[in-house]
Structure 1
Amino acid sequence: MRFSEHPLRRQIVGEMHLRRFPALELPAMAFQTVRLVDENDREKEWLILEQRCASGLDRNLRHLETEWSANGRLAWERHSEAVTTTLTSTSVSADAQFWSAPNVGPFSDTLQWMETLPGLVIRATHIVVVANDSYAEPVVDRADFHPGHLVSCIIGDSVRIWSDFRIHAGGYGRLVVAANGAADGEVSRSIQRIQELGNYRNLSLLEGTHRSIA
């Protein structure tokens, strides 16, 4: 190796391999937030996690998953720069009103819990995953995407996404994903990649804004 390696390069690459998006049974819905948590709020967050998951959590823990129901999971990940929390549900009917967040039941309770975790949210995404483009069409039509900002592309061999990368009702961005025959693992990896791009874009823009103000 002839080049000079940044001392944090391998740590960053290791974190990228740590991150994973849960496998989903379609149709499915997910909510993800990315939060900046300062030292004052970090212990408060641990106590809240212990109340939800288990007491005596290792403070060096970087990844935590728990089931909130038979069809849903909650994933929490602490990275060097932010904390990502992802709530997924596969108990979704094919004709569901995907863009209406549930207001009763375990999913609603867990979503409210996630939204009140300590820290400042820099990105929040409401994700709908369906089997194919035909199922995606009515979901996209109801997403209220801005026509001038709507982007659609294929990731990998067949997974297609739609988003306008804007903030919608409830403070969430919206992302539609059609599997189009892709295996569950490929769908999850595709969602993970597109989310990481958006999450790091916001982190980079935030850092640049702070520098310009300073």
Structure 2
Amino acid sequence: MHSDNTPTPLTFNNTDALKKILMGISQYQQRQELHSELNATAQELVTIPAQLSHLVLLSDRQWIDQERKLLSELCDHYNIALPNCHENEFTANLGELQLRWERHTEYSTYTIYQAGPFETPFDQPPVRRLPHKWLARLPGEILVATHIALDDRSRPGRSLSELAQLFSSNTVIGSKVAGGSASVWSDNQIHEDGFGRILIHDENLRSRQIGRLVQRLLEIETYRMLAMLPLPMTRQMIPQLARADQRLARLITRNTELTSIEDEQRLLDELTKLAAEIESLSAQTSHRFNASRAYYDIVKLRITELREERIEGLQMLQEFMIQRLSSAMGTCELVHTKLENLSLHVARASELLRTRVDISMEAQIRDLLKSMDSRAHVQLRLQETVEGLSVVVLSYYLLGLIGYGLKAIKAAGFMINVELITGIAIPVVVALVFLAVRGIRNMINKQHQNKDPL
């Protein structure tokens, strides 16, 4: 198996050379990296007959350094130099074996390839030739484990009885692929060794077709399992969503029976709590649902690329995959849609209740303002009454002072009629006091209006 990544004469690593070619125009700094990623090929040149073992391990990306360390230890075990290890892929020749490692967003793949004839497919898979202790230290959990055996075209085709024996008497599915250039059989079952099995018989495949066919089959195995990841979580969510739907129905019914703003606020608190629970479910599952949808699309695309033709008496890979996988994906889509609709309904109910609470609060505020306005009128009347009394009281005390003054003048020897002058002063004093009080009130009102023009 050889990598098809041989650089062409137009591949440059020197930035200055690239700038000269482009007349000194500045390039996007990651252009070369993006171009290399776009043209990278995962298909290997596979020599038939051969056997492959493929592992897919779910793990966080934080384990990538540990994986690289284990790959380095494996190279040391086989006394070979560590090949150039790109950021997300690694290929090494381990004697008669070849190992390819690829790191993806949420999983890593390990493909072990062994060229050469074999007596019985799947009897001595390549993965068994790797150190068991090294395999046990790989980080992550196995999601996919598959053996692939490739029969040479010179070997006679296998009968249905032979196929049944190879697949432990399980129901065999298969088809002609690549325009009739090969036959593929599987049973889509996990066997006693924990691996699935795929048998390919070469009839007229070109060397690069073999690599592409193997790659597509491995991707179908990988992505169909990744697409299925949300299914257990989805089944657990179905009763939760049913209970949430019932709670929402009860809360909406109570909304028509509320009699006080306190009841409305309590109901709004319950709706807010329900909305928080639903949004929490959505946050936990939306990424998984979106990823599953993308993986499902890749599976359908890869199956289409196989260009299957029916083998009489066998169910085709496409029929089996789409039939089983579409049902699971339909369940996931249904629950995802139900979750989004429930979130929308809770938001609408909350908005309606908030509107009702706001209207109730506005009515209370309006009543309060009316009450305050009534009290202000009462205070104004009291103030006017107090002003009248204050005029009388001030006039009384002022006339008393005038009386005392007149008595003092009479005692000094002046002949004046104290009672007469006091009586004459009464209307004058009352008028002066009234005008003074009115003037003070007007001055205060004017100052208040200047401070608060509204």
Compute the TM-score of the two structures, normalised by the length of structure 2: 0.38
Matched residue, 1:173: 196
Q: Are positions 1:61 and 2:61 aligned together?
A: no
Corresponding position: 1:98 with 2:118 = no
**Which structure is higher in strand share?**
1
Corresponding residue number in structure 1 for 2:56: 34
Contact preservation (8 Å) 1:163, 1:176: yes
How far apart, in 2, do the equivalents of 1:88 and 1:16 lie? 25
Partner Cα separation in structure 1 for residue 190 and residue 122 of structure 2: 13
Deviations 1:168-198 (A, max 9, x none): 1210000001111211210111121122112
Going from structure 1 to structure 2, the CA distance change for 1:166 and 1:203 (only over 3 Å counts) comes to same
The aligned residue for residue 123 of structure 1 is 144
The 1:73/1:56 distance shift into structure 2, 3 A limit, reads: closer
Residue type at the aligned position of 2:97: G
Match of 1:137 in 2: 158
- Structure 2 CA distance for partners of 1:170 and 1:16, relative to 1, 3 Å: farther
Aligned counterpart for 2:105 among listed residues 80, 87, 97: 80
* Aligned positions, number: 193
Question: Which string of whole-angstrom CA distances, capped at 9 and with x for unpartnered residues, describes residues 146-186 of structure 1?
Answer: 543x2111221212100011101210000001111211210
Unaligned residue ranges in structure 2 (runs of 5+): 1-35, 76-80, 238-454
Distance 1:15 1:135 in 2: 41
Residue 98 (structure 1) shift: 2.3
Query: Does the alignment pair 1:182 with 2:182?
Result: no
Tell whether 2:183 aligns with 1:160.
yes
Structure 1, gaps ≥5 residues long: 1-13
Question: CA separation in 2, counterparts of 1:16 and 1:178?
Answer: 31
TM-score, normalization by structure 1 = 0.76
Contact 1:15 1:79 in 2 (8 A): no
Moved more, 168-177 or 33-42: 33-42
Q: Distance in 1 between matches of 2:120 and 2:129?
A: 18
**44, 47, 50: which one pairs with 1:22?**
44
Counterpart of 1:196 (choices 214, 219, 233) is 219
SS at match of 2:123: coil
Residue pair 2:84, 2:90 contacting (<8 A) in 1 also: no
Partner SS state of residue 120, structure 2: coil
Residue 218 of structure 2: SS of its match in structure 1? Answer: helix
Give me the identity figure in percent.
Answer: 23
The higher relative CO (CA closer than 8 Å, separation ≥ 6) is in 1
TM-aligned CA distance change 1:38 to 1:135, over 3 Å: farther
Name the CA distance, whole Å, in 1 between partners of 2:83 and 2:188. 39
Looking at secondary structure, tell me which structure has more helix per residue: 2
What secondary structure, in the 3-state scheme, does the structure 2 residue paired with 1:137 have? coil
- Residue pair 1:72, 1:91 contacting (<8 A) in 2 also: no
